[in-house]
Amino acid sequence: MPEAVLTEVTDGVAVITINRPEARNAVNGDVARGIATAVDEFDARKDVQVLILTGAGGTFSAGMDLKGFLSGDSPNFADRGFGGIVQRPPVKPVIAAVEGYALAGGFELVLSCDLVVASETAKFGLPEVRRSLVAGAGGLLRLPKRIPYYLAMEIALTGEHFPAARLQQAGLVNQLVPAGGALAAARDLAARIALGGPLALTATKRVIVESADWNSAEAFQRQGEIITPVFTSADAREGALAFAEKRQPQWRGE
């Protein structure tokens, strides 16, 4: 039986692929476990700086496996939550490469990522209400923070499918590419990100994510606690030396 999640690493970029195309990459226990295991591994590896999450067979993910749900197969994994990622996303930057459908839990996986590359034919939606379910894997929490309130309400309450072009206009999609090109474009974006120092990348992501809950009085203090170790790292010195010597830096993640 094929593995539910496939992984590969090239030039500091890890690709995590949901591999259930026969089920439109619906998320079951095996998928959640596979993604969580991959995220744990890649967050710990010094040779990985950026992650890409995608789906096999021209579909990102149709969401929770409803047959699995009925049989008691949980699509959640420990403290990482649905799909092994939505409750505790990776520490490192992660890009969603979306082809075809990203619906329900599939859309919630996308919303757990930091950047989104989508094909022109991709469609997004939260159809849970039409099954008398609720988008409880972060969809209702994250979507209104990513796009305008009234559009978020329309998506969540109608359960309809929305084209990638409309979500790009709303600011949710970073790049819109021809059908079949999402993963290649995500790799290109990841390669540009991977030029940065790994400690700086994770600290930058952490400040942006966590600062949403900081008040103005504490913001610079909280930021300082996160970024000071980066400024005193060996990589920070290497970055300055590489600039002075007009060469590419050799990052060690230290």
The string of DSSP codes covering 147-173 is S-HHHHHHHHHH---EEHHHHHHTT--
Look at residue 253 and tell me if it is in a domain.
no
- Domain hosting 221: range is 198-244
Look at residue 252 and tell me if it is in a domain.
no
User: Helix (H, G, I), strand (E, B), or coil: what is residue 33?
Assistant: helix
Look at residue 116 and tell me if it is in a domain.
yes
The tokens for 4 are 């539910």
Tell me, yes or no, whether 34 and 153 share the same domain.
Answer: yes
Set 3, 99, 128, 218: catalytic member: 128
13 CB-side CA count, 13 A: 23
Say whether 22 is catalytic: no
Tell me, yes or no, whether 189 and 203 share the same domain.
Answer: no
Tell me, yes or no, whether 14 and 80 share the same domain.
Answer: yes
pLDDT at 244: 94
pLDDT at 64: 93
Smallest CA-to-CA distance from 47 within 74, 75, 17, 13 is with: 13
pLDDT averages per 10-residue partition of the chain, 254 residues: 93 97 96 97 95 98 88 91 96 98 98 98 96 94 96 98 97 98 98 96 96 93 96 94 93 91
Tell me, yes or no, whether 96 and 202 share the same domain.
Answer: no
Q: What is the CATH number of the domain that holds 12?
A: 3.90.226.10
Set 108, 120, 154, 254: catalytic member: 108
195 secondary structure, DSSP code = T
Say whether 8 is catalytic: no
Cβ neighbours of 157 (radius 10 Å): 10
Cβ neighbours of 244 (radius 10 Å): 8
Tell me, yes or no, whether 217 and 160 share the same domain.
Answer: no
227 CB-side CA count, 13 A: 14
Tell me, yes or no, whether 70 and 107 share the same domain.
Answer: yes
Tell me, yes or no, whether 112 and 205 share the same domain.
Answer: no
pLDDT at 4: 97
Look at residue 187 and tell me if it is in a domain.
yes
Tell me, yes or no, whether 99 and 222 share the same domain.
Answer: no
Look at residue 251 and tell me if it is in a domain.
no
Number of domains in the chain: 2
> What is the pTM for the complete model shown?
0.95
Tell me, yes or no, whether 179 and 228 share the same domain.
Answer: no
Tell me, yes or no, whether 132 and 234 share the same domain.
Answer: no
